[in-house]
Chains A and B, each alone.
Chain A
């Protein structure tokens, strides 16, 4: 083996982050779990819309678009959350051993690796969610009784659910960075999210909870919402997610792989 020895050049310090982000996007996009999630989401959303459309046209059963879409978004959170957890809670923990060695032994810091992985999963989950929910919103607008559906209300409703998913993905990736076992990560994230969500519903109504936010979606889509209060809730979600990611990143940078 005759090996050429080229000259050393300056590094592009952002390139390792992009490499991890692109590789993870591609790998997740090609995974059977992601494809299953897409199929399930598209199948159920499409099926539910057609069912409501058929019920309206054939039996004359009217359900307003905000009510139907609110139910659908509710379902997105509760129905597919386990799949989203399975898709994200193994982000880092599933790449232990030689596979992680072959990446982390190169010119990349743990911070860059974590952020690259986190952003890749966020982009994929939120991108998919936005695409399917906007398609459902448009479908609902044209196929259902949509007199009361407002464009800005629908957009805000989508943002509310997105802010919840932002925390779910961030928390799952952070736990996977702290654990060496994917099954343990999935169990911890699942129990914490469902348990935490349930506990929040037991608190006084003045304290925001995911369940109360989801129940308010039909009204939000009709345009009945307090923007300041919702913006505050979403900002809290972004803040908590950022803090969670920071803890996950610091922990990951201090542990053995």
Chain B
């Protein structure tokens, strides 16, 4: 991450939030986000994701620590800083009786955009998110997909540098979800994004960094690649082609190898699970040699399981298993 603070889009230092001395929602969170970073914010329900986002937005005040955006400290009155943020809350709600045009106009005025700027901008955004046909309809009757598209338009009306989207794909049908992910990829080319989501597949697809929260504590912050690299890949599936007798022969040979704790054949799909201490490169090399010796062709090979999901679960489990030792690290 960057050395110079002013180059950072978001920086938090020992960020802590305790609600009314009853609930510790966030504990000592240190984050540094560079421009162009697409951060996936992960964590179970109640882990503190939304609290962190609300602190970054200045909707909540930190109990301790601070949040800086673009080098300036965020407070509830930092209107200028919020002009550089586009936010989508979880389950966005809109005032009753408004149409997409009146709502976007209202939000644009909240950003202080004069009429000659906001009118063309809202018109182009309504067209961009495919709400042209419903631009005069009341938002009260909108479907989840339409609400999500209006929320996207709302978050882009001020042409923000930082986008904070809380569960943007929640409740969307597959087509709308795909559109949303494609949009995130497009926006990621020149904006910084923070995406909070329970859908680890979405995070895996669009993010380049990850932050994992567990019980209000940041247990991982770094690149998504590093997060996945922490996970030991030891479960593979190999699709085979060849004579059934040859495949059975290869199976017998593979089962005799000590590196595998599971060798299973279903139809022509070979499932392999390596032992914990096995080296996967040499184990897979042995598999290929055995298959070649038996004249069995390999159609495809893949690592089984959602890598980000598995890495996330491993990380949370590891954190839980540390028990009281966690206090030792916090004090250090």
Tell whether A102 pairs with B77 under 8 Å between CB atoms, given A6-B120, A18-B109.
no
Chain B CB within 10 Å — which of A5, A10, A105, A109 has the most?
Answer: A105
Tell whether A102 pairs with B113 under 8 Å between CB atoms, given A3-B186, A254-B61.
no
- Asked if B158 is an interface residue, CB under 8 A from chain A, the answer is yes
Taking CB atoms, residues of chain A closer than 8 Å to B111 are 11, 16, 106-107
Docked-complex contact A102 and B93, CB < 8 angstroms: yes
Taking CB atoms, residues of chain A closer than 8 Å to B154 are 102
Taking CB atoms, residues of chain B closer than 8 Å to A103 are 110
Docked-complex contact A107 and B110, CB < 8 angstroms: yes
Chain B CB within 10 Å — which of A3, A103, A108 has the most?
Answer: A3
**Complex formed: what's the CA distance from A18 to B109 in Å?**
8
Taking CB atoms, residues of chain A closer than 8 Å to B94 are 102
Docked-complex contact B128 and A106, CB < 8 angstroms: no
Tell whether A1 pairs with B128 under 8 Å between CB atoms, given A9-B117, A99-B93, A105-B82.
yes
- Asked if B187 is an interface residue, CB under 8 A from chain A, the answer is yes
Binds B, one of A19-27, A48-56, A127-135: A19-27
**Complex formed: what's the CA distance from A110 to B78 in Å?**
9
**Complex formed: what's the CA distance from A143 to B57 in Å?**
59
**Complex formed: what's the CA distance from A30 to B57 in Å?**
31
Binds A, one of B84-92, B267-275, B311-319: B84-92
Cβ contact of B59, chosen from A3, A11, A253, A257, cutoff 8 A: A257
B34 to chain A, nearest CB (A): 21
B52 to chain A, nearest CB (A): 13
Cβ contact of A256, chosen from B60, B78, B82, B114, cutoff 8 A: B60
Taking CB atoms, residues of chain A closer than 8 Å to B78 are 109
Taking CB atoms, residues of chain B closer than 8 Å to A9 are 113-114, 117
- Asked if A15 is an interface residue, CB under 8 A from chain B, the answer is yes
A106: nearest chain-B partner, CB-CB: B110
Chain B 99-139 interface residues, beta-carbon cutoff 8 Å to A: 106-107, 109-114, 117, 120-121, 124-125, 128-130
Taking CB atoms, residues of chain A closer than 8 Å to B149 are 1
User: Which secondary structure characterizes the binding site on chain A?
Assistant: loop
A111 to chain B, nearest CB (A): 6
B114: nearest chain-A partner, CB-CB: A12
- Asked if B76 is an interface residue, CB under 8 A from chain A, the answer is yes
Q: Which interface class (under 10, 10 to 19, 20 to 34, 35 or more) fits B?
A: 35 or more
Taking CB atoms, residues of chain A closer than 8 Å to B85 are 105
B79 to chain A, nearest CB (A): 4
- Asked if B95 is an interface residue, CB under 8 A from chain A, the answer is yes
Taking CB atoms, residues of chain A closer than 8 Å to B110 are 15-16, 19-20, 103, 106-108
Chain A 7-62 interface residues, beta-carbon cutoff 8 Å to B: 7-16, 18-20, 23, 27, 30
Docked-complex contact A110 and B106, CB < 8 angstroms: no
Docked-complex contact B114 and A15, CB < 8 angstroms: yes
**Complex formed: what's the CA distance from A105 to B57 in Å?**
6
Taking CB atoms, residues of chain A closer than 8 Å to B276 are none
Chain A 97-142 interface residues, beta-carbon cutoff 8 Å to B: 97-99, 101-112
- Asked if B159 is an interface residue, CB under 8 A from chain A, the answer is yes
Cβ contact of A107, chosen from B80, B93, B121, B182, cutoff 8 A: B80
Docked-complex contact B112 and A16, CB < 8 angstroms: yes
- Asked if A2 is an interface residue, CB under 8 A from chain B, the answer is yes
- Asked if B64 is an interface residue, CB under 8 A from chain A, the answer is no
- Asked if A191 is an interface residue, CB under 8 A from chain B, the answer is no
Cβ contact of B79, chosen from A2, A108, A255, cutoff 8 A: A108
A-B contacts, 8 listed (Cβ < 8 Å): A1-B149, A3-B129, A5-B159, A6-B117, A12-B112, A15-B109, A97-B93, A106-B82
Q: Write the residues of chain B forming the contact surface with A, with a CB cutoff of 8 angstroms.
A: 19, 54, 57, 59-61, 76-80, 82-83, 85, 87, 89-95, 97, 106-107, 109-114, 117, 120-121, 124-125, 128-130, 149, 152, 154, 156, 158-159, 179-180, 182-183, 186-187, 190
